[in-house]
Structure formats: C-alpha cells, structure tokens
Structure 1
Amino acid sequence: MSYVIGIDLGGTNIKGLIINQNGEVLKQHYIPTKDTEDGSWRENVKEMVEYLKNYLQQPVLGIGLSAPGLPNEQNQCIAYLPNRLKGLENFMWGEYLGDATYVLNDAHAALMAEAKFGVAKDKRNVVLLTLGTGVGGGILINGQLYQGLSQMAGHLGHISLNAHEETQSIVGMVGSLEYAIGNYSIEKRSHGRFTSTWELVEAYRKGDYFASYLWLSSVRKLAIAISSVANLLSPEMIVLAGGITLAENSLFEPLAAFMDLYEWKPGNKKTEIAQAYFGDMAGAIGAASFVLTK
C-alpha cells in the first residue's frame, strides 16, 4: 500500500492528512498557520509533516502542498503571491521537507480532489469553480490537470461578464464574475445592506425584495459564465465548490432555471452541474491526489 501526505496551507490554518492510493484518509490534523512577517510560519508546515510521518511510521510516496498563488512550471514552489504569506514565493518545499514535494494552486487542488476521489471521479473533462470570498477554478482535460502558461489556467472568476462595468477585479478585469458573486464585494453590491453572502441568502429566503433581486442577479450572471465555459470547453461536468454553495437549493434551483435559458444543448445534452463532495480538506486531499498522478 502506498501513502501520501497532503497539506493545505491557508492564511489561518494548516490542514494536513495522510491518504492511501485508494483515497482513504488515515489521519488528519489542523494547526494554526500563525502568518508572520519573518516567514517563520514555514516551521509550522514542517511540524505538520513531522507529526503525520510520526503517526504513519513508514515512508511516503511524496508530499502534496496546496497553497494560494501560482506555482512554478515544475510545481516545486509558489512562484507568485504578492502581499500574503511572506516567504512563500519561490520557497523550495522539497529541499526543506526532505521529500519529493509538489505544490499546487489551492483551486487546482480542489479540482484534483473531486476528479480523483469525489463527484467527478472517472470523468475525463471537468471544470471546477470555487465560490467564496472570490471565485477561483480549475480545468481537467483528458484526465489531466491543465495549468497553462504561468500555471494560471482556471481563474474563471476573472472572466468578464460586462465590458462596460468599470469596477476591476484584483487582476484588472472589468465586469468580472468574481465581483458579480464573490463574498468580498457583497457590501458594495448591496449598498451596505449586507456584509456577507449568507446574510443576503437568508434575506432572500424570507422574501426580501431587494435581496431577491440582488441574489438572483448574481446567480443569473453565474449561469451566463457557466454557459460560456461550457461553450468554450464542453466539459462532462462542472463542479461548484466553496462556501457560497452552502446556500444549497437557494443556489442550485435558480441556477438550473437560468441555465435553461442560456445553455446551448446540442442533441438536448445538458452539462452536468454538481456540488463538490469535499469540504475544508479538499485542498489537502487534492494536493495528495496530484502526487498519486506522478
């Protein structure tokens, strides 16, 4: 039996686990990241790895590390992440941890988790969208993670839905999907009425007219974006992940209605839309899954 360690590095917590080649989780663990200006938070990642190794008491195939930012071409480190987790950029994790270590963007890792062991298992062509503070994503083509130039493929939150909208996303895109539905913009989009998407959805469920208008407008834009992605890539499945999907039927029912309006369905074939199976350990599971493909 082969074993792999998966680590999900976040600004608040480090999540770690051991899985075998069948995707069974033997052990999982959480510790605070303790993001510091001197980069000493990296010692907490090593502490997590040592804890998991001590539990396993046998060699691992390798380590997968999920993190925000864009990896280098060899998936050895995060090459680009300004203004967060100082000391992460260009830090060579394999040398530091003493094992073969593969580094993935966190949304790409979430896709790998679903493709290897989750709702998209056995699918060959899949797109994943993470709906949370912002909007991220990943693309699977012919069973392989497609990372693209600069490893930035799948950043679907930064596609434009409105070229006339002046508000720019963090990468400079106007009228972005991320602005249309991401939690970070909800206070501005609601003119200060709501501070979180959860508050907005609760008001929508209670029949608040303004909340209904705002929420359904966001879901409509999501449907347009998904239909556009389907036209571009024609995937077998589009997986939705992230905190906003916890809206459950309040999201998926109106989304289906709008998809009926905008989706191109040759031969009446619809693109399957599924809610992600994995929750907060998706990054760690996906990073470990990536190692299993090597």
Structure 2
Amino acid sequence: MVFIGIDLGGTNIKGVLVNELGEVLKQHYIPTKDDPDGLWRGNVLSMVRYFQNYWQQPIAAVGLSAPGLPDVSNQCISFLPNRLPGLENFVWADYLGLPTSVVNDAHAALMAETSFGAAKNYQHVVLLTLGTGVGGGILIHGKLYQGLSQMAGHLGHITVNATDDECSIAGLPGSLEYAIGNYSIERRSRGRFTSTWELVEAYRAGDVFATYLWLNSVRSLAVALCSIVNALSPECIVLARGITLADDALFEPLRQFMDIYEWRPGGKSTPLVQAHFGDMAGAIGAAGFALQRNV
C-alpha cells in the first residue's frame, strides 16, 4: 500500500509518496499561492494528481498536515483564523476523491518520528517543535492524543515563569514559547539579536550576555520538559526543527539542566533525542497518520 502525505504551508505545499515502511518513493514541492478566494486549494489537488500520474496504481489514502485545529473526525481544519482563506471546514476527501485524514502540522511532525523515525519503537512519546514558536504532540499507547477540540500538544503555551508578564497566544504569562521561541528573541535580547541563530553563534563565541540569555532559555526548556515528564512519563522526548540544528550548543546544556531537575525514581532518565526528519517531516507524518487510520 502507498500513501500520499501533504504538508500545507502558507508559502509552499510539500508532498511525498510513501509506502507502509515509510520509504519515500517520490517527493514534490509546489507554491501554495495563498489567495483570499481559496483558489490555492487547486494546488493541493494538483499535488495529488501529480502523484497519481506518477504511480499509476491505486493509492490507499491521503494525509494532509495543516496549521490549525482539525475537527473531531480529522476530516477538515475547523479552526484557523486569519490564514489560508477557504481552509476552515473544507472537507478534503470530497474534493480529492480519496480517503483523506487531516492533522495539525505539529502533530504530523510527531507522527513522522513515531511512525518511521527517531521514536518508531516507542508507545508513549512527547515531541516539541522549536522554531518561530513552540509546538508539540503527544503519543499515548501508540496513538496520537488530540484531546478535546484537538488542542492537545500545544506545549509552547505552558507556563515556565508565572510572574512574567509576557503572554503566549493562549493568554498565559511566562510561556515556554516566549522563553525560547524565535519570535521573541529581539524583545528578550533588548534588540541585540534578530534571530536565535545569531544568539547561539554569540554564545559559542563566549559573549557574556549571549551566554546568560541562551542558557536561561535552555534552562526554561529543561524545566518545561521535566514538568512534562512528571505529568505524562513518556518513554522518549523528541525535539524537532529550528534550533535543534544547534546540536551540542542546545543538547549539552539541556541535558545538564535535566540532570538537575528531572525526577528519576530508580535512576531512570527519559531519553532525549533529536528528530530524524527535517523539511519533509510534516508531509511524511501526514502520510503516517493516514496509514495509521487506514490499515
């Protein structure tokens, strides 16, 4: 069986054709061409037709990764204000002519890693995406946990400093997303850095202020991860995207802070791993989600 996975972004649509083992048989990119009338949806259909013409055999299902909150049956995105007009409540299976499962983009990143990647053999997993903001996903008993209104996994919106006046989208003070997300770096650095990459490079160069700011951010991430461990006790935590590419500049201090704060009964610590998939994670995870729902 083969599946199409599509990652729908505001700029590009990324697609993959994968088999049940997660082997990518073909991949494709096309511009989204977002427009106020929703004509961009035709580009998603063009992506599906591209893979159908390439494969020339039946395709089992489509998985579609998109920003926003899916409906309870994962047939459409039910909530995404002010972006991609025409996406909300649009049922893709009717339009594409194939069984189609719709999943939040951060949840898709989790499905990529648990279906085919760094956390393939685990049943209980937490994933965080560290980029402009902080997203996440939760796997329980081998299944994506979406929760009420499909909101589960918005781990960037947990509080790491309740006395901080800064608020995330969810309205909570002192969010993890503010503490380490790229969107807030100029404010946190008082205008000195315009990206987290600039901050990390200055940290590597031994800059005192950058070292303070970066390690404080990593400490906040460690505290959040330890809190998640206490709440969910996952077998594995996966960190994906963005600043995970800083490698040891992130993971070495993070593990040292985890050594301080993680509760480890019997000496057991929670494995912390870097995601296997990069740019195509959303599309591959969407295919994995479709596979899980259709096999």
Mark yes or no: TM-score above 0.5. Answer: yes
- Displacement of 1:179 after TM fit? 0.3
SS in 2 for 1:239: strand
Per-residue CA shift, 1:230-276, capped at 9, x if unaligned? Answer: 00000000000011101100000000110011000000000000000
Which residue of structure 2 aligns with residue 53 of structure 1?
A: 52
- Displacement of 1:165 after TM fit? 1.1
Q: Map 1:5-154 onto structure 2 (within 5 A).
A: 5-154=4-153
Amino acid aligned to 1:25? V
Per-residue CA shift, 1:148-193, capped at 9, x if unaligned? Answer: 0000101000001111111111121110000000000001100000
Q: Number of aligned residue pairs: give it.
A: 293
Which residue of structure 2 aligns with residue 259 of structure 1?
A: 258
Q: Map 1:148-187 onto structure 2 (within 5 A).
A: 148-187=147-186
Per-residue CA shift, 1:180-229, capped at 9, x if unaligned? Answer: 00000001100000110001001111011111100000000000000000
- Where do 4+ consecutive residues of structure 1 move more than 4 Å? none
What is the TM-score of this pair, normalised by structure 2? 0.98
What is the TM-score of this pair, normalised by structure 1? 0.99
Distance 1:116 1:167 in 2: 36
SS in 2 for 1:193: coil
Amino acid aligned to 1:124? Q
Amino acid aligned to 1:198? W
Distance 1:283 1:266 in 2: 35
Distance 2:287 2:242 in 1: 22
SS in 2 for 1:284: helix
Amino acid aligned to 1:46? L
Quote the sequence identity (%): 71
Q: CA RMSD in A?
A: 0.6
- Name structure 1 gaps, 5 residues minimum: none
Which residue of structure 2 aligns with residue 218 of structure 1?
A: 217
